[in-house]
Amino acid sequence: MYQQIPNTVYPGKSYPLGATVTNGGVNFAIYSENASLVVLCLFDKNNKEVNRINMRWNEEGVWHCFLPNARPGLRYGYRIHGEFAPHRGLYFNPSKLLLDPYAKDVCGEIEPRDEIYGYQKNSLFNKNNFYSRDTRDSAPYNMKAVVVDEDDFDWEDDRPLKIPMRDTIIYEIHVKGFSKLNSKIPENLRGTYLGLSHPESIKYLKELGVTSIELLPIHLSMNESRLTSMGLTNYWGYNSIGFFCPDPRFSSNRCNAVKEFKQMVKELHKAGLEVILDVVYNHTAEQGHDGPQLSFRGLDNPTYYKLSPENEYCNFTGCGNSFDTRNNQTLRLIADSLRYWVEKMHVDGFRFDLASTLARIGSTNNYSKNANFFSVLMQDPILCQTKLIAEPWDCGPNGYQVGGFPKGWSEWNGDWRDTIRKFWKGEANLLGKFACKFSGSSDLYWNRGPLASINFVTAHDGFTLNDLVTYEHKYNFKNGEDNRDGSNDNHSWNCGCEGETSSVSINNLRERQMRNMLLTLFLSQGVPMLLGGDEIARTQRGNNNAYCQDNFISYFDWNLNDRQRLLFKFTSELINLRKSHLIFRRYTFFNGQIDQSSLKDIIWLNDKGLEMQGADWDRHCGHFGIYIDGSCIDATTDQGEHLQDECFLFIVNNESKYIEFKLTNQKNYSSEWHVVIDTYNYPNRPKVYSSLYTLPPHSAALFVEKPRKS
């Protein structure tokens, strides 16, 4: 901790923004174009305000000063003077202590009191009666930024792993939920960054076989007062207020989040596991005009937020506000934040929440793949080398942009999710759509390739895989909104009984359906994403919007039964199968036919073993085969020689009757089929089949073609 509160002040520098430690002290710089005065407030270790420093130096909107002899650990915040005129989009209020947008660490918590609001809460906001400024001090109830020495950590020889997208298998988890109930981890580490990187956690992740851990938001966030009043929290964390600061909720003692996050990344990297952050730059926790005044609103509201011509908040996110990436300063903040997480925190990539909002341009706020947001990231020599993944939609007009992002980006493929769910549910007329999605979604990514598609059956937002085959209706009553929240369109099938049941036949069907969808996921072209816990049939008891459930509903239950262990084994085998065969990890689409003299690299077969013709595609068919030729794949050695893989046959039956498939030879040599996986008979499998194979209802099987032994 710092030894004293400095009083001497020098001009300092306008770059970099934030609090920067040097050999002689700390430089402070913060942007506010429309402020009349910026005041730096210093606090002692008891969070008592002990000094206010007028930052008299201003260069093109950047206010700055230098405090000699200041040290890491110094606590600070800002008070901003200026006009309070909501009808003109200005909310300056020096009574409200504001968090530095570039804060790397914080202390204390935000308390949901009226004092953190910039206006008097008994006043109204409308075009004729703008509310009145609240003059009560918010400092006792807001967090304080803490000066951090960014280089005070021994990374040893750690570097970003840069696993190629074709080799990537994403595992989406919540830091707390993953380890909170794991009794093999010391109690004080459960649910923390260090719990996630504990040897027991890493052992599990390595046995599963995933390559990249995608973390639900770990940026500093806050709980909405509405949730707090109901005894709930914003568990998922999609309510950011600090884009450089790891959330102290996931630190083992709430006072060492930066170093513990770095330690987590270092340990995961040692195990060969990437770290991808789910980031929320589309909005902030300050909500709409009636939300709290914590940072951006009071610093320079027109800079950071999209405003209508009437200076009301544009709400393309459903959260009250939208970050304004049309503004150069806001773009700079986002790019600086991303670069910080790569350079100083060593993360490997990002998944952008509601990414369509970030690419809305001009006065009309229409989405554009030519938006400056994309240009800034793709020209950056550091960021363009990371994994950039979009959630390609938001709540605004024309916001659904699956397939509409530029080169260099991958996307959550919601069309893949919906198609696969509908198909295995048994809906008709999906054969052509299934074929397109299984083959890499060339309808969407024709100019980018299959690796632009992040394929997923389930994600944090919605049913888990277990609940997808257990419930046809959502059960979100514990969220306090009378079950109105969450999607009503889940494409789920309960297999004959709503909720848990003791029926052996229904439970067997549910397990088979989970295996069917997992098998489809890991055989499809594109990049697979597995929702954490699906491999052990984690349930949220029918809640498909558990964003506020910081409890057993969201946590992993590590008391596994035999069936859960078997599903883990199945999932691990699928992942290892995918890793072992390049044919499932193409970076180009299937050609259909390699050349005039060769066989097609993918053939769609009917149950007679013949290539499907127009009539086969037109009929309401839920059973078919897919022959994938591995003799010439889109991969070469360093010397340019084409690599070869084995040939596979994937047969599918989503109907309620038994189907007999003829396994025909697709090669010029005599071959036989070895069963790799059968979702009906798993874990048992016949050894060899050379002619006919009967596939039971709602099941699938994968074969590998081997030369027949003489």
Among this protein's residues, is 391 annotated catalytic?
yes
608 to 134, 552, 604, 642, 694: CA distances (angstroms): 77, 49, 11, 32, 12
Distance CA 603, CA 651 (A): 12
Q: Which two tokens stand for residue 282?
A: 């589309």
Closest alpha carbon to 172 in 391, 357, 492: 391
52 beta partners: 41
* Cα atoms in the 13 Å half-sphere on the side-chain side of 571: 30
Closest alpha carbon to 605 in 563, 561, 666: 666
Number of helices (H) and strands (E), helices first, in the chain? 15, 31
Strand 366-367 and strand 25-31: the pairing is: unpaired
One of 391, 461, 601, 645 is an active-site residue; which one? 391
Peptide bond before residue 683 is cis, with ω within 30 degrees of 0: yes
Q: Which two tokens stand for residue 386?
A: 């990371």
Cβ(658)–Cβ(640) under 8 Å?
no
List Cβ neighbours of 544 (8 Å cut-off, separation of 6 or more): 462, 463, 467, 474, 476, 486, 487, 490
Helix 562-580 / helix 504-523 crossing angle, nearest 10 deg: 20
Distance CA 265, CA 189 (A): 15
Cβ(284)–Cβ(290) under 8 Å?
no
Among this protein's residues, is 498 annotated catalytic?
no
SS (H, E, C) 350-402: EEECCHHHHHEECCCCEECCCCHHHHHHHHCCCHHHCEEEECCCCCCCCCCCC
Phi, psi of 482 (to 5 degrees): 55, 35
Strand 349-352 and strand 219-221: the pairing is: unpaired
Helices (H), 98-174: none
SS (H, E, C) 572-618: HHHHHHHHHCHHHCCCCCCCCCCCCCCCCCEEEECCCCCECCHHHHH
The span from the first CA to the last CA of the chain, in angstroms, equals 77
136 to 53, 124, 140: CA distances (angstroms): 20, 18, 10
Residue 306, judged by CB atoms within 10 A of its CB (0-12, 13-18, 19+), counts as: buried
CA dihedral 518, 521, 523, 526 (to 10 degrees): -160
One of 267, 353, 394, 629 is an active-site residue; which one? 353
What amino acid positions are annotated as catalytic residues?
A: 353, 391
